[in-house]
Structure 1
Amino acid sequence: MKKYIIGFILLGFALFFFGTDKGRMAKQVAKSYLVKPVYINEEGTTISQRCLLPEGFVRTSYPEGSFQNYLQQYRLKPFGAKVINYNGEDYLYQGGHVGVLELPVPDNGLQQCADALIRIRSEYLWQQNRKQEIGFNFTSGHYCSWQQYADGFRPIIDGNKVTFRKTAAKDHSEANFYRYLNLIFMYSGTLSLYDELPQVKAVDEVEVGDMLIYPGSPGHVIMVVDKAMHTNGRKLFIFAQGNTPAQSVHVLKNPNDGNLSPWYEIEIGEYLEIPTYYFNEVKFVRFK
């Protein structure tokens, strides 16, 4: 392992001094391997149990049954679990996470960063018997709901033109629900989420379940899965992400502050580094 860490560090320094995007990414990878998160309970089996609170902070409490509480109580694999790619192989980089969510990774390769968060939201609504609320825009802007799909309507896609026709029998089964999600994974992403969802304009308004997003092709998106507040007004956040290639959803380390990791302190509009990625501008959207 030492030789890999040294290699990452050397690669990071070499590329960083050339000022390239790859250099920044390599530097973050190297930093992440060196960060040993302080606020970790290795015995914790949920996100809120795994991530301990810094002194003076209180975890934000949400009503039972809320999406926020659902995320805080999301089950994690045992500490030390690896991030696994959709093909069953270990992800090359294992130095950026403190927990892996108990969320299967389909072997079709479709469940990438935005898709993983769409799935989490959709499964929550399904479990809450709020199935009529499940629906997302395609990148083209056309809305596709689970109810519509379950009733047998399928998109007919011609470039950016989309029409829906009833071409299948009604099927409201769970198996068909996951076929619907695969369709959403194919035609939705960070661009459609950013265009469709309301923005969160201030850190004081950011809640668990909100998503820090860069809309692009490719873009990236991560989700707030825990939040803590101090009596002096400071707010800290825990993030989880899916990624490309499609892989286990995992709770992130903070490569910027080893004394705070895995908690993040953020500012809207500022630059932020996470393991394997950086956001030039912090901006959030929220599921409806």
Structure 2
Amino acid sequence: MRKKLLIVLLLFSAGLFAFVQLNKKAKVYAHTITSVFSEPKYIHKKGNTIKDRVLVPEGYTRTEYPEGSFQSFIQNYPLKASGAKVINYDTSPYFYQSGHIGVLELSVPKNGLQQCADALIRLRSEYLWKTNQKNKIGFEFTSGHYCSWSKYAQGYRPKIRGNKVSFHKIAQPDHSKRNFYRFLNLIYAYSGTLSLYNELPKVTSSKDLKIGDMLVRPGTPGHIVMIVDEIKDIRGNKLFVLAQGNTPAQSVHMLKNLSNTRMSPWYELPRRSFIEIPGYYFENSKFIRFKD
């Protein structure tokens, strides 16, 4: 009798879990459908940078960061003209074109490697290159081994056997931009959401979130998006705009907020909460930040 009761309880628990998961996914799909018919009102179609594309709701002010900072670099990143499509690495249009409000002027390599985490790694690396902080360019592989641009430029290459990685000088020094992109392809191949989550500092309070911070679900696969704009009211409450790369590798694009079409594309981003974005959701929101 006890055994039968235990089996019944286990089946009930499994059914309840499946129902909750299906209900969450159903919400995502429903919001995906809704997005086809909803147009965010806080959009300035003639805006050609991230901060110029999105209007500020009444009662809020945009957070401005010092010129030369990573936050300013992101906030002022150039966009393609309004209405631009999200394009896959093979030049085909992404099948879903109703979840974004802007496409960044960032190339997508034809090798298909620049996926969700890689696109944000690319943005951070381009900033460090542009601001002559090349010695800070480097990322951990999923194995935990750190791979730096400085060593790669000197000719060092990784020798990878399972989870064991060693670096050997086997190439001529090459500090060119073309070689820099070869380095990034290597990072794309061996890094991802899990390695970023393990390597980078965690943001432990929503009040501390700022542009450049990332909402992440670490895993294989996982997903990650970046905060690209920020506003706050007189009480210090913040709202944010998000952008993402994706799988397959495609244009980096700014996202609508399908859970709150009235405020879209602005998001509230509480920690440890359920957050939906077009076509995906984060069950227990976690945030990380690139190192200074």
Same fold (TM over 0.5): yes
For the pair 1:159 / 2:162, whether they are aligned, the reply is yes
Structure 2: any 5+ residue segments left out of the alignment?
1-18
Shift of 1:29: 1.6
Match for 1:82: what amino acid? Answer: K
Q: 1:179 aligns with which of 179, 182, 195?
A: 182
For the pair 1:114 / 2:120, whether they are aligned, the reply is no
Distance, in Å, in 2 between the alignment partners of 1:169 and 1:154 is 11
Shift of 1:39: 0.4
CA RMSD of aligned residues (A): 1.4
1:153 touches 1:166 (CA, 8 Å); kept in 2? yes
Partner of 1:260: 263
Structure 1: any 5+ residue segments left out of the alignment?
1-15
Match for 1:254: what amino acid? Answer: N
Superposition TM-score, scaled by structure 1 size: 0.92
SS of equivalent to 1:182 = helix
Q: 2:203 aligns with which of 188, 200, 204?
A: 200
Q: 1:131 aligns with which of 115, 127, 134?
A: 134
1:167 to 1:58, Cα distance in 2 relative to 1, 3 A: same
Match for 1:200: what amino acid? Answer: V
Give CA deviations for 1:121-172 in whole Å, capped at 9, x if unaligned.
0000000000000000000000000001000000000000000011100000
Partner of 1:5: none
Q: 1:246 aligns with which of 249, 267, 270?
A: 249
Superposition TM-score, scaled by structure 2 size: 0.91
Partner of 2:145: 142
Q: 1:39 aligns with which of 21, 42, 45?
A: 42
Distance, in Å, in 2 between the alignment partners of 1:163 and 1:95 is 45
Distance, in Å, in 1 between the alignment partners of 2:141 and 2:232 is 36
Partner of 2:31: 28
Shift of 1:26: 2.3
Identity %: 59
31-40 or 150-159, which moves further after superposition? 31-40
25-34 or 143-152, which moves further after superposition? 25-34
Match for 1:66: what amino acid? Answer: S
Q: 1:224 aligns with which of 223, 227, 233?
A: 227
> Which runs of structure 2 are paired with 1:41-60 in the superposition (5 Å)?
41-60=44-63
1:59 touches 1:229 (CA, 8 Å); kept in 2? yes
1:28 touches 1:277 (CA, 8 Å); kept in 2? no
Distance, in Å, in 1 between the alignment partners of 2:205 and 2:162 is 37
Distance, in Å, in 1 between the alignment partners of 2:210 and 2:242 is 11
Match for 1:230: what amino acid? Answer: D
> Which runs of structure 2 are paired with 1:22-101 in the superposition (5 Å)?
23-101=26-104
> Which runs of structure 2 are paired with 1:6-17 in the superposition (5 Å)?
none
SS of equivalent to 2:235 = coil
Partner of 1:287: 290
Larger-gyration structure (1/2): 2
